[in-house]
Amino acid sequence: MWTGEDYEYDAECSAMWELALQAMGSSTHACRFSASFDRGQARSHRVFVMTAIIATSAARLAARALTAEEKHEIDHEMTLYPDKKAVGLEALKIVQKHQGWVSDESLMAVADYLGMSAHELDGVATFFNLIFRRPVGKNVILFCDSVSCWIMGCDRIKDHISKRLGIDYGQTTADGEYTLLPVPCLGDCDRAPVMLMDGEQHRNLTPEKIDQLFAERAQKK
């Protein structure tokens, strides 16, 4: 698990990332370090502190073993691409389909399988906002908060969902049923506000429509 203060992972931080990985490989359970670096021509020095906490008492994180099913599906994807590394995103999607999310151990397993470094693959995982690097609920509500939805009152709908489920953006209900995440435009602006739930797009949302959707889901259980 990583925690940080004033920390952004970008190309400029890659050297720090390497240091962090080295630290994780040591027998130290937690390490803390700071550094300053230049930001472009402005040469504004920015000090950041990153704390690496190794989540378990084990000295190192280790890749888990991919299941036979996961390997079989990743192998199939490999037949469709000229290069193993090009399969990175599809492989992450496969792991997420089976495990619900992509843990560090899963990420390392996929990286090993594709002959990539873990931070190279993490760059792919964190670029695509539908790869979940933290546990999520059984149902992920992707709620559009872009401009058309905002103009059409999505804040009011989001507040209604939050109140009903007792969660804010980025949180999961205590029963593990729902996670609420903001997403950019879902491509249905003329029917805003819009959200995606259970793989289905829901449009022209109102508080009443939200209540109806949850009631229907509860009946199906």
Taking the C-alpha atoms of residue 48 and residue 70, their distance in angstroms, rounded to an integer, is 38
Please report whether residue 89 would count as binding ligand FES according to CB under 6 A: no
What residues have CB less than 8 Å from 23, skipping those under 6 apart? 31, 33, 52
Distance CA(135)–CA(100), nearest Å, equals 7
Amino acid identity of 22? Q
60 versus 156: smaller Cβ distance to ligand FES = 156
User: Segment 41-80, which members bind ligand FES (CB under 6 A)?
Assistant: none
First to last CA, the chain: 34
If one asks whether residue 201 binds ligand FES (CB under 6 A), the answer comes out as: no
Give the one residue of 116, 125, 142, 192 binding ligand FES; rule: CB under 6 A. 192
Minimum distance from CB of 148 to ligand FES (Å)?
4
Which part of the chain contacts ligand FES (CB under 6 A), choosing from 19-27, 84-92, 94-102, 185-193?
Answer: 185-193
Which of 50, 141, 149, 157 binds ligand FES (CB under 6 A)? It is 149
Q: Name residues whose C-beta falls within 8 Å of residue 103's C-beta, 6 or more positions apart in sequence.
A: 64
23 versus 189: smaller Cβ distance to ligand FES: 189
Per CB under 6 A, does 161 bind ligand FES?
no
Least distance between ligand FES and beta carbon 85 (Å): 33
- Dihedral sign of CA atoms 76, 78, 79, 80 in order: positive
Tell whether residue 186 is a contact of ligand FES (CB under 6 A): yes
- DSSP code at position 42: G
Q: What's the rounded Cα separation, in Å, for the pair 46 and 37?
A: 6
Residue numbers of the site for ligand FES (CB under 6 A)?
144, 146-149, 185-189, 192, 194
